[in-house]
Each structure stands twice: as C-alpha cells, then as structure tokens.
A and B are shown apart, each in its own frame.
Chain A
Amino acid sequence: MRLEMGNFHVKDIVFGDTLSYSNGVLTVNKEELLNYVKEEEPGIITADLRIVRPGDKVRLCPVKEAIEMRCKVSGKSTGIFPGVTSPMAQAGDGRTHALKGCSLIVVGEHMGGFQDGVIDMAGKYQDNTIFGDMVNLVFVADTNEDFERFEQQKKNKALRWGGMKLAEYIGQCVKDLEPEDMEVFDLPPVTERSAEVNALPGVVYVLQPQTQMETMGYNTLIYGWDGNHMLPTFMHPNELLDGCMVSGSFMPTSSKISTYEFAVNPMVKKLMEQHGKTINFLGVIMSTLNVKMNEKDRCAKMLALMASNLGAVGAVVAEEGYGNPDVDYTAALVELEKIGIKTVGISDEATGRDGGSQPLVSMNPMTDALVSTGNVSQLYELEPMEVIGELEALARDGNSGGWEGSIHEDGSVTMENNGMFCCNHISGFSKKTCADF
C-alpha cells in the first residue's frame, strides 16, 4: 500500500478574509470557521479562535485535543478520519495533504475534567509538549452538554468532533496546491518482499491504545470503532499515518496520545525509515488495554502469537497510559519474549512525589529493554501566564494533575506531570526520560 503525504510547512497562521495557504502562511477567516463549526456541532454554544506561537507567554487550559490539519486528495477514503467524520473507508492509500509544523488545539472555554491538560507556549515547560514548539490555531469553546458539565470524566464529544471537522475544513485549502515536499510510505504485503528485505529481522509495532472505559464514548477509536470491543488486529502502518485513529477522552492526559500524534506517529515513521536497512517492518499489531485480567491475558497471548505467525523476531510495544494498563504492557512484552521475540517497550513511569515508588504497576525482569518517556508524578512549578480557557479547571474539575490549591494567587501553578497535555509523548516524540537519583 502506497501513501503520498504532501507537506505544506506552516511558518505562521494569521486571521484574514479568505481561508488560504501561501508561502508558509496559513490565513483563516475566523467568522467563517466559527459559523461552520457551530453549524456542524450544534452542541457548541460559544466559541472563539486564537492563534498562539512558540514563545508567547500563554497557557492553554483545559486542553482536550490536538489535531493535524489535513485533507484527503485521493485514495479510498474521502475524509481524514474515516469511520468518524467521513464514511467508513480504508485509510492509507492515495494522497493526503497536511499542514505541517502546526496544529489545531481544542480548549474548553470553562469546564475541564480528569482527562484534560495544560500547554505552555513559553517558559520552563514550553518544550515539554511538542505543541509548545509549533504555531497553533486554538479552538476554544463551550457546549450545552450539561449531562457531563460537572462530571469528572467527560466525553467532550462536541468539542472533539468540532476540532476534527475544523481541522479537515481548514486542510481543504491546500487540496489543489502543489506540496512543498512529499513523503512516500510504500510498504508491500509481508509475502511480497525482496529476498534482501526478508533476510532482515522482522519487526512489528504493537500499539496498546487506551481502551479501558467500559462505557462507550471515552476510548480511542479505530475507524470509529471503540477499541474496547477489539481483539488484537493486524494493520498496515499507513492506516495510522492516514487518520484511522482518533484519540479518546479518558485517563490522565500526560500519558495520552493525541489524535495529532496517532497520525504523525514518529515511531511508525522511524520503523518505516529503518525498513529495508536494519529491519523488515512487518506492520502494526493494534492491541487494546483492558480492565479485566482475563481480557489482558487474552490480548497479550493473541498479540504474541500474531507476531510469531507473521515471522517477527522483534517487537516495539507502546502503552498509552500507566497504572492499571502497565499490567497489559508488561504482559505483552513478557508473552513476546517467552516465544523468543525480542522486545523494546516505550511508556512512562509513576514513581510518586518522593520518587520512591515502583515505576510500573506490573514488572517482570524479562522486560529488559525499556524506553522511559517521563514520570507522571513529577511536580511542575509553572510561572504565571495569560490563560486561554479557564485555569481554574485544573484545580476545580478533578484534573489528574491538579488539585484544590494547585493555582496560586499570582497565577503560578503547582501541578503533576499527569496534567500536562500529552507531555510524555508515548508516540515517540518525548525528549524526556527518567533516571535513578
């Protein structure tokens, strides 16, 4: 399957009369976009758009989602999120155009929740999220979803869907333009590879997206399907790069993978890059995270056998989450190792405020190659900044990294890593690790 990703490198976003892209500048018409999104998502009652740039002393809170603005030019799918905002179709072939180096960020105007986060565009924590280092169009809005207004766990449906639709609407402005550069992702079926490639060690990427919520509407979606209802499934990496996954609205945000990262997945890209050089990248095993022990066990055993049947001798396992899902993570690594598949795991740790706690809930000495992307319990001290959204949401609405007293009178903040938006970047973007002290 061959996917052409036509890139447009955005240097700046500005407001103007006509939605357009030219010479690195994305121009958006605020009124047009707000009218569009309100019509598409009638649940949205108030909305605004802001532009934030790296170095702006601005704090975004509560952040609910980040999305790359794209459009589908050709291929089986007609939209950038098939099965979600466009009819079900296979993702990963044809041509997709993307506005690179920027994102659309969805922020709650007032209400946050357990799963939402903070992004700082300047200061000590600017580099903690990739979004602090890119120009962002910020969609900040409130909805009439009163059933969950005061709930700690929020589906954030209108805002998340509004964000996806805006990202695609804006992305359309480069549909007919010539891309500035093109990435080609062309990985043939596993049985149709050259002898040289077949001689290289076969490797699978095992992704464990967050799918633990039993109630529907919160979990990561795969082609619009709630991952809670899945068993391990073999997929082509292009499907991920072309928007088959939509991030959920559940669990502490620092361990989440945003929709942006599911599609701009650096781990998939690095594996593709190594394909034919150091490895034979067989493809993606999309697994799940579950709450029941027998479900965890079933998935771990099935994914290991799937890897083995594909002829894998190596596997990268990524866990979107921490705590309870560490059990699924370690189980997957152990089941793979048991049948002789060499694993590397990528996830974050929870070592507690004093650093003295067991970093993963479940540990096994067989997992001897782990990459650590951050510590959810790390305390962060944030300087005061102008806020887009409502900072109180961090302290008031049960955010996983905030608490009553998190926000100080001068606007400075004490919080846990837990509440910084996708900052442990389990997708592979993280430039953090953990060490013994």
Chain B
Amino acid sequence: MSEKYRRFLIVVISFLLALVVGGLLMLFYKVSPIDGYKIMILGALGNKYMIYSTFARMVPIILTGLAVAISFHAGIWNIGAQGQLYLAAFVVAAMGVSFHGVPTAMYLLLGVAVGIAVGGLWAWLPGYLRVKYNVNEVVLTIMLNSIAIYFTTYMTNGPFRTSQGSLGATNVIDKGMWFRHINPLSNLNTGVFVAIVAVALIVYLMLFAKRGYEWKMMRLNPRFSIYGGVSFKRNMILAMVISGMLAGLAGTLLVMGDYHRFLNGISPGYSWTGMILAMMVNYDPIGVIITSFMYAVMISGGLKMELILGIPQELVQIIFVLAVMFVTAGYSLSNKLSNRMQEEG
C-alpha cells in the first residue's frame, strides 16, 4: 500500500471514529446523532448563504494552514503565524484609519501589499536569525507571537483606541479599503478571490515548482540536497518569509474583508487550528485544503446545532480535536506496524 494512500485511509477512519464518539456525546443531550449531523451538514451547506459563511470561515484557516505547511515543509518551524497575522492585521487597520481619500483600487492593492509585507518581515526576522546565528526559531517565534499580540492589544487600548463604542478595537477603516461583503447575511467578501489566488500559487509552488522539491529534499534528506547544490540558507529564509506572508494575508483579509477594523480577538486560534491541520496531513497542501474545508463545515454546522438542538457548539470543536488526535495515533501505530513488518520480513 502506498504511503500516501495509507495516510489518506488513516485520516478518513479517524474522522469517522471521532464522529461516532461525537454522536455518542450527542445522546447526552437527548439528540439522535443522525439528526444532529443532518442539522450540522444543512447548517453548513444547506443554502447559498450558509455555503458563503462556511467559505468565509475557511479562508483564514486555509491560509494559516498553508503558512505552517510551507515552512515545516522546508524544515524550518514557523510557530509564529499567530503573531504575523496579528501584526499584519493591525498595521493594515492602522493604515486604514489614518489615511483617507486614496482611490479604492489603489488602496485595496496597497492594503494587501502592506499586510503581506508586514507578515513576511515579522517572519523574516526569526528566519534570518536562525540561518545566520543558529538561534532556535521555535522559541523565537513563540516569543514574537506574544510581543505582537501584546503590542496590538496595547495599541487598541491606547493610541488606536476606537471612538465608536466597543472597546478593544480600532475604528472602522476607510471605505476605500473595504473588500465588500458578497451578501449581507454572510462574512464572505471579495477578498476571497485574493485568497484563492494565493492558495493556487502556493499549491503550484509546493507541488510543481522546482523550489518546492528542493524544500522537500531539505527536510527529508539535508545532505543529499546540499550535494545537489541547494542553497540551504536562502531556501529556509524564503520559506519562512512566504509563510509569514500567508499568515499576514490571513490577517489582512480579516481586517479588510470580514470586520473592516482590527479587533483584539481577531484570530481566535485560527493559526493554531491551521497548524494542527497542516501537521495532521503531513504538510500536503491539498490535504490542508480538504481538512480546512471539513473543519469549516463542522464549525459552521455547530452553530446551527446549538441554535436548533441546544447542543453547545463547542461539541464540534471537541469532535474535531478528537479526530486530530486519532489521526496522530493512527500514524504512530501504522509506523510502528510497518517497522515491525520490515524487521520480520
């Protein structure tokens, strides 16, 4: 059985198993699992607007998932997607509240460019330090996460505090910078097209481009790739910067598209979810797309389940986490099994 096929099978079985456990948990709420899951699917994909909402939910997950996938794919650990997302989102929002009267098309372009640049820069720093001075990038990115989050929280409570009521947010950004909502009932906005382009570029880069192959070799067999003439240092920094750019784009789209302002809790763990997704599918970009779609369906449907059946929406999050853990356990077990078979054979 090929490695890829086996992994796919493990993911499918694990998700089914988690759904079974989730179904049993639903019995505690006196809801039949079949009804529960029916409502979940209908709530996520039942009509056009629900599908829109599900896709809107998918955008930040898929971008941060790919961000993590691309850096880990190249053997450098970017744990800092959360910080890159926050800082980029904040800077874009700060720009949006400070400057007015820029022509719309230019402002949109500028906003996206600045967001991507900030995310990339915040990732470049640990990447550069890792390559140049061998500073542990895992530790650095964790610290940079906290710095970015505390900094943005400080700004939204201090200099950029909103004058429009609710606390912990900036003012609404200039209208010229808005990605318009496609429909007032959902968060989906024209920014999704930017995300689609980014995803397509990354899939091409990781699966079909020479650079992607070099990265994979760096992770799987560093000596071979050095022998083959791969510039390790440059590739690592590049992977890190692209990773940061994606995380930055996720934050930018949240500001320019979803909320039209920066909020303190703008990413309730999107990047962490993205990270475990990416690791679960072993940094395969197509896998990230599929699993983040599944995640978005579950979360959107979970809201509906709470509204109609009274099951707390957190239940679907728990089902999802269980699925992730089952997948991980499945990989370990299958590795152990195949090692044993090799030893015996």
Chain A complexes with chain B: no
Binding site for B on A (CB under 8 A): none
